[in-house]
Structure formats: C-alpha cells, structure tokens
Amino acid sequence: MAENTADAATRKPGHNGYDSEALKGFYAEFETQQAEIDKIMAEARKKAEPYREQQKDIKNACKKKTGLSKGTFSHVIKERKLRKKIEEIDEDLRQEEIEDADRVREALGMFADMPLGQAAVDKAPPPKGAAPGSFRDVNAKQEAKEAAAAKAAQ
C-alpha cells in the first residue's frame, strides 16, 4: 500500500507522524526568508512614495483637464496592467499551449460578453452537433427581448 501523506524519509522511526523537529526547521527557514522579503518590500514601498505622489498629481491633472474621474482613470490603468500581464503570460506559452488556452477560453465562454468576443461568437460556426438555430438564435432572441423590455421601460 502506497503512503499518501509523508514518505518514510520524513517520519521518525517507530512513529506514525511527521518529524516535528524537521518541520520546525523548515518553517523557521521559510519564515526567515519571508521576513527578508517583507523588509525588501517595505524599503521598495518607501522608495516608491514619490512616484505614487506624482501619479496622484497625474490623476488630478487628468481630471482637471479632461473631466475624467480619478476612479475611471484608475480602472483603465488596472485594466491595461492586467492586459499587459496576460500578454506576458501568453508569451511564455508554446504555440500548442496557446491554442489549448484559446480552446479553454472558448469552452468557458470567456470574453464572449465583450464587444470583440461577441463579434467572434457571432461569426463562429455553431458547435458540432448543435441543433440548427440553437445557441446563437436563443441568445439573439434573449437579447431582443431585453432590448424590447428596455425600450418599453423608457
């Protein structure tokens, strides 16, 4: 019978649990490293303070000159940052992994509610084995009902 918790090397001889001294050592070492990371991050935050202040000034200037709210400005900045991160992640994938990821996104319906995604869904052929007029027609009918209801409410 295979062991599924700790292997024999991490157990004390004649004991059915983990070696507490070894575990304490690993946790202590990890926590020491984390303390160093926390210290470095605190120093970095302190160094970044002037830049944060400049960013606040940029947001205020944008609001004053364009009328765009600081919240909207920040939202778009976060979106752009996330999109860049996604692009960087995708750059690390091999071509076959990108194709797999695209199929997963498609299967999950990711981005279908965004304009470009909706355009892709509208142009894509129906899934294999789908009844004629199934998923797109149902979606279009639902959208038409919602649009009619919204127009009637006005």
Q: Does residue 88 sit in the same domain as residue 25?
A: yes
Residues 106 and 72 grouped into a single domain: no
Q: Does any domain span residue 50?
A: yes
Angstrom distance (rounded) from CA 144 to CA 107: 24
Percent of the chain with pLDDT over 90: 41
Per-residue confidence at 36, pLDDT binned at 50, 70, 90?
very high
**41 assigned to some structural domain:** yes
In a domain, 78, yes or no: yes
Characterize 53-77 residue by residue with b for buried, 16 or more Cβ atoms within 10 angstroms of its Cβ, and e for exposed.
Answer: eeeeeebeeeeeeeeeeeeebeeee
What's the length of the chain?
154
**Is residue 136 a contact partner of residue 145, using CB atoms and an 8 Å limit?**
no
Q: CA–CA separation, 47 vs 39, rounded Å? A: 12
* % of the chain with per-residue pLDDT over 70: 63
How far is Cα 73 from Cα 27, in angstroms, rounded to an integer?
42
Same domain, 76 and 102: no
Quick one: 78 and 54 in the same domain? yes
74 with 107, same domain?
A: no
Using one digit for the tens of pLDDT, what is the confidence trace for 40-97?
Answer: 999 999 999 999 999 999 999 999 999 999 999 999 999 999 999 988 887 877 777 7
Helix axes 20-66, 70-91, angle to 10 degrees: 130
Domain that holds residue 37: 19-92
Q: How many structural domains compose the chain? A: 2
